[in-house]
Each structure stands twice: as structure tokens, then as C-alpha cells.
Amino acid sequence: MDLIIREPVLSDVEKMLNYINELITERTYILLDKIQDIDSEREWVRRRVEDIENKKVVHFVAEDKKSGKIVGGCDFLRKEFRESHIVEMGISVLKDYRGKGIGKRLFNRCYSASKELWGDDVKFIRLKVFENNQIAINFYRKLGFEVVAKLPNAIKWNDGKLIGCYVMMREF
Ligand SMILES: CC(C)(COP(=O)(O)OP(=O)(O)OC[C@H]1O[C@@H](n2cnc3c(N)ncnc32)[C@H](O)[C@@H]1OP(=O)(O)O)[C@@H](O)C(=O)NCCC(=O)NCCS
């Protein structure tokens, strides 16, 4: 499959809405659990594009060249003040597109763009992952992350039970 890896733009609102709602409908390992509407998504994309312009965020999406569908995304958010040596990472790929190297490509693209943008000012990449998300934990380990902490009762899972989150880190 031919992919375009690029930054999101304002005109992506509908594509981004379809993307996030597909993940929410799957009830996968992301924080959002309520279907989003076009107005909230427009506002989210507007703010996101602003944050990219202001160098607060590095964000890339993977677009299927043939269909124009957005099938994956990865972002690095620069923390502020006494935490400004840290970026927090998020990543997801649509179900039908997993296991094809897209997550790794998105990570590498975000990483190289972030290095260029923030250089030695950033020292660590940090993320949170649900404790029951073994696939993502393996994925992050392969990228050099290790578990540094556990947050108990951090997430209400699909069955209503409270589960923990691991905090994972690697050097930038
Ligand atoms: C985690 C996620 C982003 C990985 O993306 P992906 O595109 O499927 O991953 P890739 O195909 O790039 O795989 C990269 C590496 O991880 C490993 N990996 C990915 N999925 C795997 C699986 N199901 N089982 C074992 N290893 C797996 C691959 O073997 C690969 O290793 P390699 O480079 O040595 O071949 C994806 O599974 C996803 O979106 N999951 C749902 C949302 C989610 O959990 N997001 C993270 C929230 S913290």
C-alpha cells in the first residue's frame, strides 16, 4: 500500500473525524470513549495546526494514497517549564492497517522531525500505555522504551473495571 506521511492540515477535519471515530468505535486502547462530532473535531484540528506552527507539537499522519483515508497518526508534545526536557508521545493505527510497519514509520518520522526542531533541549520521550495493551508495550520495547512506573487505577476499561497504566520512557 502506498502511503503519504505528512502533517495534518485544516482541511483534514472530516478525515480526522472519521479516523478518531473508527478507533473509538473499536473501543481500542485510547483515552477517548465518546464519538466526536464535526464541531469539536474542527476545533481540535484548528488548535492542533496552531500548536504545530508554534512548535509545541510534532504530528504526522499516514494517508492511504489511493483512498485518501487517514489510517494512522503519531504526535510528540513538548512539555513546558521545568518539564521542557520531555516530550509526550501518542500513536495509533486503524485496525486493518496494523502490523504493516506503519506505526514504526510514523514514529521514525516524528522522531527525526522532533530532533531537527528541538535538538538537545529535549532529553526524554515519555508515554502512558494501558497495562492490558501488550501489543503496544511490545511495540514500544522494540523502539527502545522501558517501563519506569505504574499508575494504579488510572483507566476505566471497557468492562467497567479499573486498570493501571505503565509509564514508559526512552532517551530522545
Ligand atoms: C501500537 C500500534 C500503534 C502499533 O502500530 P503498527 O503499525 O501495528 O506497528 P508496526 O507494524 O509498525 O510494528 C512495529 C514493530 O512492533 C511489532 N508489533 C506490532 N504489532 C505487533 C503484534 N500484534 N504482535 C507482535 N509484535 C507486534 C512488530 O513486530 C514490529 O517489530 P519489527 O520492527 O521488529 O518488525 C497499533 O497496534 C495500534 O494502533 N494499536 C491500537 C491503539 C494503541 O494501542 N495505541 C497505543 C496507545 S498507548
Average pLDDT over residues 145-149: 98
Residue 95's domain comprises 3-123
Start-to-end CA distance of the chain, whole Å, equals: 30
Is the CB of 155 inside a 6 Å radius of any atom of ligand 1? no
The answer as to whether 34 is a domain residue is yes
Domain contains 84: yes
Q: Residue with the nearest Cα to atom 5 of ligand 1?
A: 103
pLDDT of residue 83: 98
DSSP string, 23-60: HHHHT-SSS--S---HHHHHHHHHHHHHHHHTTSEEEE
Is the pLDDT reported for residue 114 higher than 90?
yes
1 pLDDT more than 90: no
Q: How far is the CA of 53 from the centre of ligand 1 (A)?
A: 29
119 located within any domain: yes
In this prediction, residue 78 has a pLDDT band, given cuts at 50, 70 and 90, of very high
Q: Is the Cβ atom of 29 under 6 angstroms away from ligand 1?
A: yes
Does residue 109 sit within a domain?
Answer: yes
**Number of residues written out for the chain:** 172
Q: Ligand 1: does its nearest atom lie under 6 Å from the Cβ of 142?
A: yes
pLDDT at 93: 98
Distance in angstroms (rounded) separating the CA atoms of residues 56 and 41: 19
| 2 pLDDT tier (thresholds 50, 70, 90) | very high
pLDDT band at residue 80 under the 50/70/90 scheme: very high
Confidence of residue 48 (pLDDT cuts 50, 70, 90): very high
Query: Which candidate, 109, 127, 31, places its Cα nearest to that of 63?
Result: 109
Residue 79, domain CATH:
3.40.630.30
Distance (Å) from CA 36 to ligand 1 centroid: 25
- Structural domains of the chain, count: 1
Give per-residue burial for 147-164: e unless 16+ CB within 10 Å, then b.
Answer: eeeeeeeebeeeeeeebe
